[in-house]
Amino acid sequence: MRNIFLFIRRYFNLLVFILLQAFCVFLIVQYNRFHQAAFGATANRITGAINQRYDDVGYYFRLKKANDSLLKANEFLYNKLKENYTLPDSGYKTKIDSIRVDSILQFRTYGYYAAKVVSNSVTSQNNFVVAYGPNIKYLNEGDGVINMNNAVIGIITNITGDYAVILSLLHESKESTITARLFKAGEVGTISWDGKQPNVLTLNNIPKGTKVVKGDSVVTSGLSTTFPKGLLVGYVDEVYEEKSSSNYKIKLHTAADFTSLEFVYGISSKHADEVKELVKKAKAKL
């Protein structure tokens, strides 16, 4: 308290001057329209800038909540795509019950489930992504995985509790291949990786004579239960002729950025088990 009184005593004249200046400014602004408008405009700019900075800080701390909301919204929209449903041909039916208990969900072919990436590699010969989330329980080994931009990431190889291990497209294993097609030409080939660049893949077994140009989209073929038809795999960068065969070797730039994965969607095929069982029986007969 003593220091406060000493401070006031020492700077008494300066403090009185500042108070009188402030009072004068108040009178000028209060009784002069021009100065009042100028002061209001300046005050608005200053308070606006302060509020903007405050809002930016608040937005930063709300990013996690916003990301979670967007993830759920995307999951909901993915599950509403018409490509995820296979409607039966009703042309042969002569009568349909007007009171239908079951909804269109009984015709669902694919379901999308969000998960967060907790581990990811891009420099090994066979790279894996580990995803975590409560939705993992709805997925199975062999299900496909895409990123938030609908681009193919890989295939689930193991599931333990709320964790799933995904073999990404960046692998040299010959046991797990994904078929893809040229979006414009329609020719189907297989995807492989040479182990060099984490954003360059190869589309194999495309016949020579197929019209391919740089920038063409390469999408999933839809010839398996792993991925629906038409999901982005990459874009054509270069086309080479294989001397030892009648096929092209096409270099692709991946649609997904494997170095910055944060969230993914697992795709569960509702008919996968049935198809696998049929194939198993067919192989057993042979």
Q: Is 126 helix (H, G, I), strand (E, B) or coil?
A: strand
Question: Cβ of 39: how many Cβ atoms within 10 Å?
Answer: 16
At 75, phi and psi to the nearest 5? -60, -45
pLDDT by residue (tens digit) across 101-148? 445 555 667 888 989 999 999 988 889 999 998 889 999 999 999 998
Domain with CATH 2.40.10.350 in the chain: 114-270
State how far the Cα of 137 lies from the Cα of 159, in Å rounded to an integer. 8
Alpha helices (H) along the chain? 2-10, 12-31, 33-61, 63-78, 272-285
Dump pLDDT digits (tens) for 19-65. Answer: 888 888 777 767 776 666 666 667 656 766 676 676 666 666 666 76
pLDDT tens-digit map of 179-229: 999 998 899 999 999 888 889 999 999 998 889 989 999 999 988 888 988
- CATH level 2 (architecture), domain 114-270: Beta Barrel (2.40)
